[in-house]
Structure 1
Amino acid sequence: MPECEEGEDEDDEKEEEDDEDGEATARSKHPAERRVSLAMAVRNAVRMVVDGRRASLVACGILFAYLPHSHSLSLSHPRPPCLPCRPFHASTAPRTTSASASASAAYPASSASSPPDAASITKVISSNQESYAHIRRLMDIVSAQTDWTQKTNHASSLTSRLSSNTLWESDPSKAVALQRELSELKQELTEYKDMRDKVNELAAMLELAREEGDAALLQAVSADIEQLKATLQSYTVRLMMSSPQDKYGCFIELRSGAGGAESGLFLTMLLRMYSRWATNYHTPIDPSSRAKATLLDSTPSDHDGLKSATLLISGLHTYGWLKHEAGIHRLVRISPLDANARRHTSFVSVLVYPDADDNGEDEKGGGIEILTKDVRMESMRAQGAGGQHVNKTESAVRLTHIPTGITVACQNERSQHQNRALAFKLLTAKLLERELRVKQQAKSDLHSQLPDNNFGSQIRSYVLQPYRMIKDLRTGFEKGDVDAVLDGDLQGFLEASLLHMRKLPVNYKAL
């Protein structure tokens, strides 16, 4: 027995030495390192609480071991330790007094009179709160787009069916299909639950960081918020881009309407707006993805501006974003063409259809096959400016699809071969759009579903005088910075349209 007791005493002494070495190592750390360790300890403790578990003695011990060394926590009125940690806190109290004095010398303790970088900390807190509000909105959108209760019940039903041996014996292929469906459903539910738990966890961490005002903890919270925001943005866009054609590029066809010469100028403004949007485009699904705008065809008006234009925007999910831009757009402003400076109203119709060839897969053209005998090709000289080469050679191409009567033209390239390739690309997209409309029991004419290009038919108003406001009449979304919108800042309008078409609330900031 004495030998055993002696061995136990040696083990206890060894553990005490290890504890003292660990505490000495903690005290020997640079104050900045201690602050980071504090942030990690607090975050881990909060996560344990959020998960429904009480913080263990070890976690509390680590937390209180670092709390006295933090320069951003007031030491004049220290918080009493929790009951399990009082012995640990009492044993470290004598040593932390001198350590806190040295820490205070390097980093002055925070107080109401002289807080360390109070302005910068307040700014970070405000930024984090705005980012978290943005995350909450994204989470609300995700929750509203899918009936997660129904999905959970369906997963339980599939689990019950697959647990029966009868299904596997009678129809193994169906059982395998149901098993695959269950696996995908569980993955989706798990992903949703993880994101929801992270949002709740960040709420607790953000509240703690706000109360303590610790810069290191705020930095850790900021990193987590940005990571979760990127994840939720990608997930939200994936939910909204549910159509198979949403991933394609798109063609935008613009035609001037009522308003005379002013409508031609308005068309050039919209053409520039969509081109600028493509230049600045990126999708949350793939931040490295970019878009490119190419003018395929344009017809100059008798005065300034254009009668019509066709723009190709290539890039991932550009059709998904721009498909709801189709409709009548209205401009109200004092016309620069009016010598009396009177206010004019003009209209432009916009059509958007997918570029199936932009997918780059074997399903090129979305299953559309164009026979040579069904296409009549005409070559002509290009119109408008372009130099002697363009005006003296028949480089422009017009294609007519005889079975449907669809006609496309392209004249912006210098070579007839290039114009012919782009014209076939445009014709393929128009035929695909026609096929999609037939499947949706719509008329085959691309312009048949648009109202008159005139008063009372607009989907969006661009008012520059007497006040400045751009408003989408379908969603109610509006923006006063008209210059930014006309320079391509369309994201708020595009997201509002996506949510509106899915019957979701539109009162939000841009994704």
Structure 2
Amino acid sequence: MEKIIQITSGRGPAECTWVVAQVLKKVLQEAAALDMKATVLQHQAGSENGTVESAIVLLEGKGVTEFVASWIGTIHWIGQSTFRKFHKRKNWFIGIFEIERSKEMVFSEKDIQYQAMRSSGAGGQHVNKVSSAIRATHLPTGLSVVSMDSRSQHQNKKMATERLLIKLEEESLSKLKNQYQSQWENQLQIQRGNPVRIFEGTDFKKLKNVKNNKAERQQLKKNLKDEIN
């Protein structure tokens, strides 16, 4: 089982990109503790050192659905700005969304057209006589790459396929980022009052849902009084 999530600061300031970096660490740590495989597919650094504007993470393993569900939504950090010492704001919000793997990310070798071509550059008589270079074109998207690293046509075909796969992944992730960026900007305004997780301070400690626990204690006390009466 696998899931893809995006952790993003939206249009938030540098403080939000710092929160994204901390949340990314937490997600990777928790996934590792649960024996899940976590791969950062895309990472866009923020304007300040140690910050992340957006990250796309592939999660694989048993229980991944429940794990992702526990993170999806708005993340709230309570703390003093680490970049603006006298800034009064202490509440910062970022978002985590699930991304559906698009058709462009499904790779099939049947969609690739291979074309042999003569290698260019230095190489002596071998280059002039043998068409060892390979151009690989992904027909559905039109993306293409060329490999002429080896004298072996078979080896060049293999390398061209690998490079084309990387290029397709990069193209798909770029489209996904643009698609979900606008969605996050809209939902940020709606979900600020209902965060799925709250962290506090520069040590980024997770806060328990104190409000709910307090309400439960009050209700228990009321029930106890009713029973005594």
Q: TM-score, normalised by structure 1?
A: 0.26
How far apart are 1:347 and its partner, in Å?
1.7
SS in 1 for 2:195: strand
How far apart are 1:451 and its partner, in Å?
4.6
How far apart are 1:268 and its partner, in Å?
0.5
Higher helix share goes to which structure?
1
User: Partner residue of 2:196?
Assistant: 460
**Distance (Å, rounded) in 2 between the aligned partners of 1:257 and 1:425:** 19
Of the three residues 17, 20, 26, the one matched with 1:273 is 26
Partners of 2:79 and 2:90 within 8 A in 1: yes
Pick closer, same or farther for the CA change 1:301–1:448 going to 2, 3 Å: closer
Partners of 2:38 and 2:60 within 8 A in 1: yes
SS in 2 for 1:307: strand
Higher strand share goes to which structure?
2
Q: Deviations over 1:403-451 (max 9, x none)?
A: xxxxxxxxxxxx8456336448869xx7xxxxxxxxxxxxxx6564885
CA-based RMSD: 4.4
User: Partner residue of 2:68?
Assistant: 322
Partners of 2:11 and 2:185 within 8 A in 1: no
Partners of 1:300 and 1:308 within 8 A in 2: yes
**Distance (Å, rounded) in 1 between the aligned partners of 2:184 and 2:10:** 16
**Distance (Å, rounded) in 2 between the aligned partners of 1:477 and 1:315:** 32
**Distance (Å, rounded) in 1 between the aligned partners of 2:2 and 2:25:** 18
SS in 2 for 1:275: helix
Q: Which runs of 5+ in 1 are unaligned?
A: 1-247, 282-289, 357-364, 380-414, 431-444, 479-511
How far apart are 1:345 and its partner, in Å?
2.3
User: Partner residue of 2:97?
Assistant: 351
Q: Deviations over 1:240-297 (max 9, x none)?
A: xxxxxxxx2111111113541000000001111110011111xxxxxxxx31111111
What letter corresponds to residue 460 of structure 1 in structure 2?
V
**Distance (Å, rounded) in 2 between the aligned partners of 1:299 and 1:311:** 12
Q: Say whether residues 1:331 and 2:77 are aligned partners.
A: yes
User: Partner residue of 1:419?
Assistant: 166
Pick closer, same or farther for the CA change 1:342–1:313 going to 2, 3 Å: same
What letter corresponds to residue 470 of structure 1 in structure 2?
L
Q: Which runs of 5+ in 2 are unaligned?
A: 113-137, 146-161, 215-229
**Distance (Å, rounded) in 1 between the aligned partners of 2:139 and 2:188:** 35
The percentage of aligned residue pairs carrying the same residue is: 14
Q: Mark the structure with the bigger radius of gyration.
A: 1
Of the three residues 375, 378, 381, the one matched with 2:141 is 375
**Distance (Å, rounded) in 2 between the aligned partners of 1:319 and 1:370:** 31
1:107-506 matches, within 5 Å, as 248-257=1-10, 259-281=12-34, 290-304=35-49, 305-340=51-86, 342-353=88-99, 372-375=138-141, 377=143, 416-417=163-164, 419-420=166-167, 422-423=169-170, 448=183, 451-454=186-189, 456-464=192-200, 470-471=207-208, 476=212
Partners of 2:2 and 2:64 within 8 A in 1: yes
1:52-63 matches, within 5 Å, as none
**Distance (Å, rounded) in 1 between the aligned partners of 2:85 and 2:33:** 36
How far apart are 1:471 and its partner, in Å?
4.8
User: Partner residue of 1:129?
Assistant: none
Partners of 1:325 and 1:352 within 8 A in 2: no
How far apart are 1:312 and its partner, in Å?
1.2
How far apart are 1:464 and its partner, in Å?
1.7
What letter corresponds to residue 280 of structure 1 in structure 2?
A
Partners of 1:259 and 1:345 within 8 A in 2: no
User: Partner residue of 1:24?
Assistant: none
What letter corresponds to residue 166 of structure 2 in structure 1?
N
Pick closer, same or farther for the CA change 1:272–1:375 going to 2, 3 Å: same
Partners of 1:263 and 1:348 within 8 A in 2: yes
**Distance (Å, rounded) in 1 between the aligned partners of 2:198 and 2:57:** 21
